[in-house]
């Protein structure tokens, strides 16, 4: 039986690559990626797992910065795109990050899991696998859409008129409801050209405490949590300057108890 999440990403692979455009969306470029890069620190010479690597732009970026990157994604089509665009020294595997049995224990210095855990039902298994394949003192950096203001889950902006300057609708206020109900939502994304993705995408809403406790139960110690703000004065990001869009967590595999 085909995994429904795998099917979504297989069928959306072309549209997703178009949306990413080889560099990430403006939200990625101006809000998320600088924060992730700061938390990763110096990647040079480090073994880095890009878990749920998509079309691979972050694998390529951190390879250029000197990391020895392995990219894993559930979508064979996205992994084909990764391979066709990357220098030969990046290793790519089609695989499920909730079961990394093709990777040996204590292989990586760093794991990057960028905007993936909210798209998978088995996020706690993924965290346990990350613990297993990390070396001691290795770091996990993962990002999600902020669970308290989850635009892809129970939350929504109440929108006003379209701003003629930014071409974006003004945010009046953010409505948050059903925060404690952990369930799957589905949404249809659009490409940069405004075309609908062929398949809806699943988003698994979870509370902040569910994420934090799962990291701890996997044996990892949280060392930093960031709610990154836009790195630009551009009025386009008015909404993201009022409430955080992303949440980024850095955790470490340390000796000793995490509780």
Closest CA relative to residue 16, chosen from 194, 151, 145, 191:
191
Q: Counting contacts by CB under 6 A, is residue 197 touching ligand SAM?
A: no
Q: Which is nearer to ligand SAM, 54 or 219 (CB)?
A: 54
Segment 154-173, which members bind ligand SAM (CB under 6 A)?
A: none
Q: Which is nearer to ligand SAM, 19 or 221 (CB)?
A: 19
Report the distance separating Cα 59 and Cα 67, nearest Å: 9
Query: CA dist 5 to 54, 93, 114, 169, 215, Å?
Result: 13, 17, 17, 31, 22
- Closer Cβ to ligand SAM, 145 or 215, answer by number: 145
Q: Could you tell me how many residues of this chain bind ligand SAM (CB under 6 A)? A: 20
> How far apart (Å, rounded) are the C-alpha atoms in residues 39 and 141?
7
Which residues have C-beta within 8 Å of that of residue 110, sequence separation ≥ 6? 40, 43, 46, 47, 48, 49, 67, 138, 139, 140, 141
Nearer Cβ to ligand SAM, position 98 or 238? 98
Q: Rule CB under 6 A: which of 225-254 touch ligand SAM? A: none
Mask for 56-75, x = binds ligand SAM (CB under 6 A): --x-------------xxxx
Question: Which structure tokens are listed for 110?
Answer: 């760093």
Binding track, positions 20-59, relative to ligand SAM; x by CB under 6 A = x-------------------------------xxx---x-
Q: Which of 90, 97, 117, 141 binds ligand SAM (CB under 6 A)?
A: 97
Any idea which residue has 């959306």 for tokens? 12
120 binds ligand SAM (CB under 6 A): yes
Kindly tell me which residue out of 35, 49, 111, 116 binds ligand SAM, with binding defined by CB under 6 A: 116
Q: Give residues with Cβ within 8 angstroms of 24, minimum separation 6.
A: 32, 33, 57, 58
Sheet holding 47-51, edge to edge: 91-94, 68-73, 47-51, 108-114, 134-145, 246-252, 221-226
**Distance from C-alpha of 44 to C-alpha of 38, rounded to nearest angstrom:** 13
Give the per-residue contact string, 121-150, with ligand SAM (x = CB under 6 A; - = no). Answer: ------------------------------
Interface contacts to ligand SAM, rule CB under 6 A: 5, 9, 20, 52-54, 58, 72-75, 78, 96-98, 114-116, 119-120
């Amino acid at each position: 039986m085909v995994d429904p999440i795998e099917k979504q990403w297989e069928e959306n692979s072309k549209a997703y690559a178009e949306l990413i455009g080889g560099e990430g969306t403006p939200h990625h470029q101006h809000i998320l990626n600088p924060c992730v890069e700061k938390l990763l620190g110096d990647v040079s010479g480090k073994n880095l797992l890009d878990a749920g690597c998509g079309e691979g732009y972050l694998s390529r970026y951190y390879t250029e910065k000197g990391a020895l990157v392995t990219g894993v994604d559930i979508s064979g089509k996205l992994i084909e795109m990764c391979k066709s665009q990357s220098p030969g020294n990046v290793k790519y595997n089609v695989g499920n990050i909730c079961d990394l049995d093709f990777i040996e224990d204590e292989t990586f210095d760093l794991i990057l899991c960028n905007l993936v855990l909210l798209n998978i039902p088995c996020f706690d298994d993924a965290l346990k696998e990350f613990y297993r394949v990390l070396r001691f003192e290795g770091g996990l950096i993962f990002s999600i859409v902020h669970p308290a203001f989850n635009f892809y889950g129970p939350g929504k902006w109440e929108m006003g008129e379209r701003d003629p300057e930014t071409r974006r609708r003004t945010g009046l206020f953010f409505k948050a409801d059903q925060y404690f109900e952990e369930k799957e939502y589905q949404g249809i994304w659009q490409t940069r050209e405004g075309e609908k993705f062929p398949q809806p995408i699943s988003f698994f809403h979870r509370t902040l405490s569910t994420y934090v406790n799962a990291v701890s139960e996997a044996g990892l110690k949280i060392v930093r949590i960031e709610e990154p703000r836009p790195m630009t004065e551009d009025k386009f990001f008015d909404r993201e300057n009022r409430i955080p869009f992303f949440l980024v967590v850095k955790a470490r595999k340390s000796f000793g108890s995490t509780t």
